[in-house]
Structure formats: C-alpha cells, structure tokens
Amino acid sequence: MTDNRPARPPVIQTRGAGDAENAPLPTTPHSLDPSPRTSLTYASLQLLIAYVTLAIVNYVPAFYASEVGIPMLAISALMLLSRGLDVITDPLIGFLSDRTSSRLGRRKPWILAGAPVLLLGCWLLFLPPDHAGKLYFLAGISILFLGLTMVQLPYVAWGAELASSYDGRTRVTSLRERVGALGSICALLTAFVVARAGHENLRPVLEVMTWVIFLCLPPLILLAVRRVPAGHPHIGEHVPFFHGAMIAFRNRSFRLFALAILLLYIGITPGGAVGWFLFDHYFSRPDLYAPSLLLEFIASFIGLPVWTAIAVRTSKHRALSYALLWIALFTAVIPLMAAFGVWGIIVTITLRSLALGALLMLPMAIIADVIDLDAATTGTQRTGVYMAFGGIVVKFAITVGVAAALAIPGLFGFDATSHANSDTALFSVIGTYSWMPGLFFLAAVPLFWRFPLDRSELAKAQAALD
C-alpha cells in the first residue's frame, strides 16, 4: 500500500560555531543568486532610506532641542513613546506581507503603499511651523516611523528572499549597505552645501533634505519595483500570527541574534544623537560636524569590501565580532584624543568608521540564514514575521540609544540652547558619545562570536528545503 501522507519537514539541529566553519555550500537550485545588475537595482532604494535615517538620527533631535526649544529629556521620552506603536505595526506589516498575493509579489505592494506615508511624515517632521510643540513632534515622528516601517520592513524581507546562498546574501546586503553609505554621504553633502551657503542653523538643512526626499524617493521605488524580481522563498502553509511569533522566539539562533543586535544598535546611535552638540558646544566648531560625518561614511564605504571579504573567508558572525572589537577600541580613546583638539577627534572617528559598514551589513545577512533554518525545521516560510520582530528589536534599540544619549547629558545639566554649560555638562556629552557605544559593542562580541549558525548548518537547512 502506498503511503500518500505528506512528509514531515526535517528538523535541522545546529552545532557550535566552530564546527565545519568553512565547509562549502552544495551546488543546488536553492543557491541561485541575483545578477550584479539586479542586486544594484534592488540596493538603489537604500540610498533614500539611509538618507532619511541619517536626518532622523543626526539632525532632527538636535534641531528640535536647540532651535524649536523642546527639552532634551522631553525629546528622549517622546521618541520612546512614538516607538510604542511599532509593537503593533511591525509584526502586523510583516505578517500581512508574508500573506499578500499580487502580480507584483508579496513585498512590493507594501513598499508602494508606504511611500506616501513616509513622505507625509518627512514633511511634517522636517518642516514644522514656528510654534511647534511636544505634541506636534510626537505626531510627526510617529507618522514618519510608520511610513519608514511600511517601506523598510518589506524591503529588507525582499532582499532576504532575493539571494539564497550563504555568501550570496552577504554580497547582496553588502551592496545594499554600500549604497546606503552613499545615501548617508549624500545627506551629509546636503548639510555641507547648505552650511557653505551661509546658513548656520539646522532648519534650512532639513528644508533642503525634504525636497531631495520628495524628488528622489518615488522614482527609486518605481525602478526597484519594475526591474527587480519578487524573490524565490520556499513557501509552506501559513500559520496564525501569534503562533508564528512563538515559534520565532523559540528559535535559539533568533533569540541570540535579537539580543546581539539589541546591544549593537544601542551602541551605534549615541554618536548620531549627540554628535552635533559635541562639535557645536564642546569644540565650538559646528562647521566641522557635516565634514566629520562625511569622512565617517566615506571610511565606512571604503571598509565594506574588506569586511565582506573577511566574512566570506571566515564567517559572518566572526567578521562581525572583529568589526565590533575594532570600533570599540577606537571609540574608547575618543575622550583622550580631545587633548589634540577637534582634528584629533575627527581622525579617530574616521579610523573607527572603517568598521561601521560591517555593523550595518552583516546582521541582515545573518538573519536571512536564521529564516532558512526555521523554514527547514517547520516547513513554513515566515520571512516577514522574522523581519518584523528583528525590526522591532532594531528600532527599539535605536530609540533607546537615542533617548539615553539625549537623557544622560540632560541629567548632568547640559542645555542645548545655551553655550555657557559647565565643564561637567560638556564632558557628559563627549563621554556619552564615546564610552556608551564602546560598552555596548563589547557586550555584543561574545554573542556573535559563538553564534550557532554557519555555512555547514545553512547547507543542511537548504538541502532539506530543496
């Protein structure tokens, strides 16, 4: 008698990170990756996502604190409050984008729907009326975060499905982050050009950034939607959302990943949150803030191919561990380099940033492998659910990092509207800028170093899926 019952999906057991670290992937249809041209077209949208993100982290809090006059502690609390909505919207958008069926694929309709929300949020937050207050700031940043989620979450999930091989995902995410570094550089060039035109305040910078976003975001989205295929995930039966969330957090690899990126992104954000105050109040050289950031992202862009090569030669999680150690070392000595003046700080920041691209690129390549492991274990594809919960962790970490970085100087009496702060208040700015990130980066190293998913484990998972 023939047994016609469907086969149960195989359960994949993970081993330690050191086992068969460099075992080659088998040549299977699952290892087909996009062409360089397709990858570049897909990555082009990251140009504007990074442009918007840099403006939110590096200029918006400083503008509302120093020119609109909202206290730094209030901005910190309002940014945390605005992220409360993400607990609902992120999993919902991830879940729905997993279940969406259209001739464009699963992810593209959500990116198209999110674009006008993102543009509205930019308009409200970047161009406030003269008497904007705390409620206006909360409404503007909440709408902007919602639009950014609707675009970015399906976009990153799309990228995870665009490439399938271990190293192919590294290359796609590396290219996307290199394009993102260019987007950040473009944002900084915008600020630099506005400053060179004689505008010392931040309001003109945000005004010009708004027009750049409105002119460039729609064509970049349409280009990616029209020219890039929808990807090739392994599709299984759909499961209820909360059941899928429980499975995701029962996945040991995902739990370790979530904790590691929580620490990593809390460490990334303080530099952007208080960087303006470091140059404007500590060194009285606000004119060098944009050039310093520009050098940071140029260094990040230059360093990305090196970290990509290290990841291909060793593994993603080991390369990320090396990058964290590199950046923590240079971050820790920033207050000591202040003895050499503002240029001593700029040189140290630039050297540190040679590893910044790895911190942005490699985690997104790792989570795509975690998703394949889950699909092989359960027989169900939940890319959107994993990306949603990963996105919640990242955005929560960024918000906590920004909020803490703004709150710490405020607790030491720092006043963003005054240039007559005490030495203690000023030192709290440079201490927050340097030592806070270094501590979180060091805490993340052991989690990534022993991450239990490598080439060998991914090969087994993909063989089971095929």
CB 259 within 8 A of CB 83: no
- The pLDDT of residue 382 is 65
Q: Give the 3-state DSSP-derived string for 238-259, with helices as H, strands as E and coil as C.
A: CCCHHHHHHHHHHCHHHHHHHH
- With a cut of 80, say whether residue 267 has pLDDT above it: yes
- The pLDDT of residue 396 is 81
Give CA separation, 371 vs 312, 390, 398, in Å.
20, 11, 23
439 in a structural domain: yes
- The pLDDT of residue 384 is 60
Higher pLDDT: 8 or 242? It is: 242
Give the chain's mean pLDDT: 80
- 221-223-227-231 Cα dihedral, nearest 10 degrees: -20
9 in a structural domain: no
- Token pair, residue 150, equals 């609707």
What is the mean predicted confidence (pLDDT) over 426-441? 92
- Residue 441's nearest CA partner among 325, 342, 345 is 325
Task: Please state, in angstroms and rounded to a whole number, the distance separating the CA atoms of residues 141 and 119.
Answer: 12
pLDDT > 90 fraction of the chain, expressed in percent and rounded: 25
What is the mean predicted confidence (pLDDT) over 131-139? 90
Task: Please state, in angstroms and rounded to a whole number, the distance separating the CA atoms of residues 144 and 114.
Answer: 10
- The pLDDT of residue 243 is 65
- When mean pLDDT is compared across 171-185, 257-271, 275-289, 419-433, the lowest value belongs to 171-185
Domain encompassing residue 355: 38-230+237-465
32 in a structural domain: no
Place of tokens 């050191």: 18
Task: Please state, in angstroms and rounded to a whole number, the distance separating the CA atoms of residues 242 and 245.
Answer: 5
> Nearest 5°: CA angle at 281, between 277 and 284?
120
- The pLDDT of residue 36 is 80
The burial of 341, by beta-carbon neighbours within 10 Å (0-12 exposed, 13-18 middle, 19 or more buried), is given as: exposed
Q: What is the DSSP letter of 5?
A: S
- The pLDDT of residue 411 is 87
Give CA separation, 124 vs 144, 151, 367, in Å.
8, 18, 33
Residues 6 or more apart whose Cβ sits within 8 Å of residue 279: 285, 286, 288, 289, 292, 342
CB 153 within 8 A of CB 290: no
303-306 long-range contacts (CB < 8 A, ≥24 apart) are 303/353, 303/354, 303/355, 303/356, 303/357, 303/358, 304/174, 304/177, 304/178, 304/181, 304/357, 304/358, 304/361, 305/174, 305/178, 306/354
Q: How far is CA 425 from the centre of its chain?
A: 30
Place of tokens 């730094």: 72
- The pLDDT of residue 248 is 67
- The pLDDT of residue 461 is 63
- The pLDDT of residue 355 is 92
- The pLDDT of residue 214 is 95
- With a cut of 50, say whether residue 465 has pLDDT above it: yes
Task: Please state, in angstroms and rounded to a whole number, the distance separating the CA atoms of residues 343 and 354.
Answer: 17
346 in a structural domain: yes
Task: Please state, in angstroms and rounded to a whole number, the distance separating the CA atoms of residues 255 and 395.
Answer: 16
Task: Please state, in angstroms and rounded to a whole number, the distance separating the CA atoms of residues 430 and 409.
Answer: 9
CB 462 within 8 A of CB 164: yes
3 in a structural domain: no
- Residue 369's nearest CA partner among 95, 175, 160 is 160
- The pLDDT of residue 466 is 61
Task: Please state, in angstroms and rounded to a whole number, the distance separating the CA atoms of residues 78 and 238.
Answer: 36
- The pLDDT of residue 7 is 40
Q: How confident is the model at residue 338 (pLDDT cuts 50, 70, 90)?
A: confident
> Nearest 5°: CA angle at 441, between 438 and 447?
155
What is the mean predicted confidence (pLDDT) over 435-461? 82
- The pLDDT of residue 230 is 74
284 in a structural domain: yes
Q: How confident is the model at residue 327 (pLDDT cuts 50, 70, 90)?
A: very high
Q: How confident is the model at residue 127 (pLDDT cuts 50, 70, 90)?
A: very high
- When mean pLDDT is compared across 161-175, 347-361, 372-386, the lowest value belongs to 372-386
- The pLDDT of residue 240 is 57
The burial of 6, by beta-carbon neighbours within 10 Å (0-12 exposed, 13-18 middle, 19 or more buried), is given as: exposed
- With a cut of 50, say whether residue 5 has pLDDT above it: no
324 in a structural domain: yes
What is the mean predicted confidence (pLDDT) over 131-136? 89
First and final C-alpha spacing in the chain: 27
What is the mean predicted confidence (pLDDT) over 305-313? 88
pLDDT > 70 fraction of the chain, expressed in percent and rounded: 80
- With a cut of 80, say whether residue 130 has pLDDT above it: yes
CB 256 within 8 A of CB 393: no
- Region of 221 (left: φ > 0; alpha: ψ -120 to 50; beta: rest) is alpha
Higher pLDDT: 382 or 83? It is: 83
What is the mean predicted confidence (pLDDT) over 256-285? 88
Task: Please state, in angstroms and rounded to a whole number, the distance separating the CA atoms of residues 75 and 71.
Answer: 6
CB 428 within 8 A of CB 414: yes
Q: Please state the pTM of the whole predicted model.
A: 0.70
CATH number at residue 297: 1.20.1250.20
Q: What is the DSSP string of 163-195?
A: --SHHHHHHHHHHHHHHHHHHHHHHHHHHHHHH
* Number of domains composing the chain: 1
CB 465 within 8 A of CB 29: no
- Token pair, residue 75, equals 């901005």
12 in a structural domain: no
- The pLDDT of residue 237 is 43
